[in-house]
Structure 1
Amino acid sequence: MAPSPWNARFETILRQGLPGLGKDEVPAADVPMEAYGLDSMSLIGIVCALEAAYGVSLAGQVTVAVRSLTAGHLWGIVSAATQPAWETGRALPTGGPTRGPAPWITA
């Protein structure tokens, strides 16, 4: 089995919020978490726990419907939120400007 694309902290939080995930089962990155018992209330709990654990705000970032949200989607959102902000025209420490908005905004 291939290693999961996320870290152990993320997986621990998922395990706490997904009642249908077996003790030794690893959530698949591309399977809707609804298959593991995710509902809107458990998603709120997972998002709150992720925000606290990673020190980020995910407000407005989880725009995928609960029924189709995957662990891979959620990990991508958390990963993006933990990256430094890209701002158009902001000078880099080397003096050069950035290239524009972050790639996940323009995709």
Structure 2
Amino acid sequence: MAQRPWNARFETILRQGLPGLGKDRSPAVDMPLEAYGLDSMALIGIVVALESAYCVSLAGQVTVPVRTLTAGHLWGIVSAALQPAWDTDRHSPAGGAARGQAPWIMA
């Protein structure tokens, strides 16, 4: 079994939204959450709870179908949302956003 990369807060939120998980089990990193009873309505509740707990917006980020979404996928989405977006206010000379460049590289 793969090691769980997430913290206790994330797992607590998952437990609240996964009725089939049970009290003595932890979600597997690569097991579809549907196996633990996740449906689209439960996913909405989990996403709202994660946004509140981690002070992030996950709008448009959870694009994996419910039937294949795993705890590992979801934690990856939350982790990415927690990373600083150094270049969100910078624009390239062509008028588009300058993605992938650290702010100290920009002149």
Question: Normalized against structure 2, the TM-score is what?
Answer: 0.82
> How far apart, in 2, do the equivalents of 1:16 and 1:96 lie?
43
Gaps in structure 2 of 5+ consecutive residues:
88-97
> What corresponds to 2:47 in structure 1?
47
Change (3 A) 1:64 1:91: closer
The residue aligned with 2:35 is 35
Percent identity between the two aligned chains: 77
> Partner of 2:58 in structure 1?
58
> 2:17 is matched by which residue type in structure 1?
G
Q: Deviations over 1:4-34 (max 9, x none)?
A: 1100000000000000001010100100000
CA contact (8 A) 2:2 2:29 kept: no
For normalisation by structure 1, the TM-score amounts to 0.82
Determine the C-alpha separation between the residues in 1 that align with 2:86 and 2:63: 21
1:5-84 alignment to 2 at 5 Å? Answer: 5-84=5-84
What secondary structure does 2:75 align onto? Answer: helix
Q: Does 1:96 align with 2:92?
A: no
In structure 1, the gaps of 5 or more residues are 98-107
1:34-71 Cα distance to aligned partner (Å, 9 max, x none)? 00000000000000000000000000000000000000
Q: 1:41/1:85 Cα in 2 relative to 1: closer, same or farther (>3 Å)?
A: same
Indicate the structure with greater helix content: 1
Structure label with greater radius of gyration: 2
